[in-house]
Structure 1
Amino acid sequence: MKSSIDRESKDILIVKKKVSQSLSAAIANFCFPQHRVSWSNCVWNKFLSPSMSFFSWRLLHGFQPTDDILKLKGLRGPSRCGFCKSHEEIIKHLFFQCSTVKKVWNCLIPKLKLETVQLSWNDFSLSWKDWQDQDLPPIPYITAWFIWMAKNKIKYEDIWVAAATIATNCISYLQKLYCHGKLPDILHSTSHSIPRKIKFALIHWDPPPKGGIKVNTDGSFSNPYAGIGGVFRNNNGKCLLYFHSPVIAKDPLEAETVAIYWAMFMAQKCGFTSLILESDSRVLIDIIEGRLPTPWYLLQ
């Protein structure tokens, strides 16, 4: 295709480059103007990871591949909610109406320092406005993300995830956002971060059985600093190995977890097979032994 150029006319300024953008970006914005939508801050923000943002965008537009959406695309098959086992898997049921999902919200809402009377959560295309008025639009999508992850674990790995575990993962994620300075203090204090009552007790060290090795670990945290340490001893109390190091952690529980991780790593490298591990974190021991759900951020 040929185009004619009027050589008699004067040149005029079409695009004025801004300091904050390149010339290419300025030309692109002029040729293809983009209109900002009202829901963009709910999906693309500092609270959500890229995968969470894409998940939220698909939810908002009805593209998330639940069984009802897959049927519309021609992928028909048996459908059942992985949580309640009594209803077909459709978006509205999975995220709003299921009895397990309601339990998740009942566990989560009391942990928030928010006036939730005016907040609704029954439709993705409408409810985000109420949360946006509170300047916290991503919270429902964070919750929906962990519900979706739990659903996939049940459906594809046959591993049951309780409502309390899903709520704990949501709260742990919000705690991490607060520790990174991305989220205001909207959470009530939890037992993971602040002890209810300080108790002191004299602890006697018991040696391991003959031929065995015991490692004692500890983690310390004083925002923004954290450190770990551990010592390996035989049945005679002789120190075989010790370690200590500053680490990056956002709460005492994470510091204790990192200490145990490195103790187990060193024991494996040194070939310690008969090993007893001791930690002074009762919460962490309960998590390891399955008496408490594992916070999401400790699984990363």
Structure 2
Amino acid sequence: MKGLSPRQSTFGWLLCHRKLPTDDIMRKKGISLASKCIMCGFHSETLPHLFLNCSVSRIIWENFLSCFGLIWKDQSSIAELISWWKRKRRILSVKDPWAAGLIIVTDTIWKERNHRWHGGKSRDASLLFKKILRTLKESNLDLKGVIRSTADLLCCRKLGLHAAPGDPPSILEVIWCKPPLAWSKIKIDGSSMENPGRAGGGVVIRDSNGKVIFSFKNFLGISMNYYAEFMSFLHGIRHAMGQRITNLWIETDSVAVVTAVQGKSLPWFALQKWLSLQHYLNSISWKITHCFREANPIADYLAKSAAKTGLSGTMKDFPTHIIEEIRWDSFSKPRFRL
């Protein structure tokens, strides 16, 4: 990764592949030795304990994550930590310091462990955290345009990094477009709580006046968001067929779904159901378009409701805020996207 030294990158590879000579790994190689964590002095030294569960390491992780407004959660293995770290990186604006932080924090813990074994001196967690911040500041990290909110600015200041705010965001007006007369518009959305995690799909069909004529939510078990989007698309067409709709406008905020359908390259798990719907689609007029998520709040609500509750079924009674969203669309009032 850019910003890390070759030695740090090598250390990261050794950590990921369980090649660091901690006591548990040395015993697996047939080397018998008495084991004690030099950091906390209470437990035997294992790779997960040293980097994740040791009291000193936990304090360091808690301090580092607090800079990003996050709370440290116990991880059972290095692989689980890396997986969780990658998922969080997708939603953070300050991406490079977050990604580099994983290696810098673990590298600092490892160097302190070796320093205590061979140098006989120890430093407390607060000094080690300051060393981590110095190393992060000295790294050549790309901070251009990472400041998108006050939270991002506070994060950089807590890390001791100087990042200038990027260009002010442009504001885009988003309006839900009514379908033409005699047409129906079906809005679809898929949601996965953890990606992968509990997933759901939402389908809402509206007429040319914006009136909801059918809505459905579908729990999809444990799956990826990508899977949920395609299943919602296929379920939406099937519900449209059940409603005997002959002029169908399909709209989704998933670029992946629109690209796959228009390019006739659906993923393997959706292909069989897609082929079974061809007879219906060939007998009607239909099209598919992309919309921003700001124009898809009702299907989004249905998908998230299915994922959270684990329930499937038609929806007739909506909460007040969704009724207001439906009314907002009917009057073609704008929403705004940054």
* Fold-level similarity (TM above 0.5): no
* TM-score in terms of structure 1 length: 0.43
More strand by share: 2
* TM-score in terms of structure 2 length: 0.39
